[in-house]
């Protein structure tokens, strides 16, 4: 299953610096994209 692949990818990424920053960046991007896609005005952070 892809879950195995995701676990391996997360494990490899966890060994690199800036993992927290990457996660926060993707989270903010997805949150912004979700707000824009739903029609509501995007929230500025």
Contact 20, 26 (CB under 8 A): no
Contact 13, 19 (CB under 8 A): yes
Cα(37)–Cα(16) distance, rounded to whole angstroms? 32
Give me the number of domains the chain comprises: 1
Q: Would you state the pLDDT for residue 21?
A: 82
- Is 44 within a domain? no
6-17: pLDDT as tens digits = 898 878 877 776
- Is 8 within a domain? yes
- Is 19 within a domain? yes
- The predicted model gives 22-31 an average pLDDT of 88
- Is 42 within a domain? no
Whole-structure pTM value: 0.38
Q: Would you state the pLDDT for residue 4?
A: 92
- Is 28 within a domain? yes
- Is 21 within a domain? yes
Domain range spanning residue 31?
Answer: 2-35
Examine the pLDDT at 42 and tell me if it is beyond 70: no
- Is 40 within a domain? no
- The predicted model gives 14-42 an average pLDDT of 77
């Amino acid at each position: 299953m892809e879950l195995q692949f995701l676990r391996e990818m997360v494990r490899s990424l966890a060994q690199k610096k800036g993992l927290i920053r990457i996660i926060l960046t993707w989270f903010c991007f997805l949150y912004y994209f979700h707000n824009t896609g739903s029609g509501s005005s995007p929230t500025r952070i």
